[in-house]
Structure 1
C-alpha cells in the first residue's frame, strides 16, 4: 500500500504565520518586561528570553528597544480601539452609546495597569518614543469619528448640547479614569480610605459617567 502524504501547507504554518506568531510572543514578552522594569530597567535580552526567541530574530521581527516600546504602545492602543469597536456605538442611542463608551474607557484603565505605567513613562519622556509611531494617529481617528457621530446625533435629538469638541470630550473621559487609577494609592492614603476596593471603584465609575453626561446635557 502506498503511503498517502499530506501537503506541507496543511501540516505546517506558512512563514508569514510563523512570523506573526513570533511577533505576538515578542510583544507579549515586551509588555511584561516594560511593565515590570520600566523603560530604563527593561532589557532586550530578557524580552528575547521571555519570548523564547533569539535576539537576532527579535530585531528582525520588531526592532530595537525603542521599536519594541512603540510597538507595545501601539498594540495596547489597538486593543483599546478594538474593544470600543465591539460596542457598536453607531447602533446605540446617543445617550446609551456615550455611557457605554465612558464605562469601557474606565474599565480599560482599571484592567490594564501596565498601560498606565507605560503612559506615565512616555509622558515623562515627552512622548519622544511615541513620536516615532506611524500608526497612532490612524488608530485614534475612528474613535474621534465615532464620538462625533454620537455628539451629532445627540444634538439633533435634543439629548446633548452643541459645540462640543470630540477631542476635548475624549481627553476629559480618559483623564477622569486615568487620574483615578494612576493616583489611587496616594489618594487612598490622603483620604484614609481604600479607593481600590470594589465598592469604591464602582462609585467612582458611576461618578465619572454622571459627570460627563451632566456636561453634555443641553
Structure 2
C-alpha cells in the first residue's frame, strides 16, 4: 500500500491492523501470531504497525481493549427503562448470551489471555472503564426491582453480572467438550433456548425477596 495513502487515512489503517490482528491472535494466540502476516492482511507494513502500537504486545492489548469496548458499548446501549425489572434482567441476560454465541473470537481471545493469567490486560489503562455502563445498568435495574418489592435488596451488581455472564460463557466456551461428554449439542437453537430459560429462571429465583419464616 502506498505510504502516503496510509498517512492520509490513519484511522482506517489502525482499524485494518486491529481487524487483521484480531484474526491472527484468535487463531494462533499471542505467541503464534505473526507481525508480518498482520501487516500483509491489513495492507500496510510492519513499520506502520509499530508506529501505531509500539510492539506486538501493545497490539495484542489494543485488540483486547477494542473487543471489550465493543461488548460494553452494545450492552450499555440497551434501553431497559420501560421494562419491568424481571423483564429487564431477562433482556440483559439473553442479549449477553446471544453476543457470546455470535462472537466466538471473543471467547478465544479471553481464553488465551487467561492462559497468560491476565497479565497483558493489566497493562490496559482504559479496560475497567468499559465495564462501568454495564454495571450501572444492572445496578439501576436491581434497585428498581428492590424498590418495587420484586427483588431482594442488597444484591451486589458486579457479583450478579459476573454470575450472569459466567452462565452463558461456560456453555459457549465448552460447547465442544460438553457435546463430546454429554452427547448434547448446545449450539443447536433448541438446547440454547432450553438452557437459557433455565438460567434466567435461576437468576430471577435468586432475586426474589427473602420471606421470613413464620414462627
Q: TM-score if structure 1 supplies the norm length? A: 0.89
1:193, CA displacement in angstroms?
2.1
Pick one of 117, 125, 130 that aligns with 1:139: 130
Q: Distance in 1 between matches of 2:12 and 2:81?
A: 33
Residue matched to 1:59: 50
Q: Distance in 1 between matches of 2:76 and 2:181?
A: 37
Residue matched to 1:7: none
Residue matched to 2:189: 198
Pick one of 46, 69, 73 that aligns with 1:78: 69
How is 1:159-170 mapped onto 2 (pairs within 5 angstroms)?
Answer: 159-170=150-161
DSSP 3-state at the match of 2:9: helix
Question: Residues 14 and 197 from structure 1, CA distance in 2 versus in 1: closer, same or farther, beyond 3 angstroms?
Answer: closer
Answer yes or no: is the 8 Å Cα contact 1:90–1:146 preserved in 2. no
Residue matched to 1:155: 146
Pick one of 32, 38, 43 that aligns with 2:34: 43
What stretches of structure 1 of length at least 5 have no aligned partner? 1-12
1:14, CA displacement in angstroms?
11
What stretches of structure 2 of length at least 5 have no aligned partner? 210-215
What do you get for the CA RMSD once the two structures are aligned? Answer: 1.7
Aligned length: 205
1:91, CA displacement in angstroms?
4.1
- Whether 1:29 aligns to 2:20 is yes
Answer yes or no: is the 8 Å Cα contact 1:84–1:104 preserved in 2. yes
Answer yes or no: is the 8 Å Cα contact 1:90–1:149 preserved in 2. no
1:131, CA displacement in angstroms?
0.4
Q: TM-score if structure 2 supplies the norm length? A: 0.90
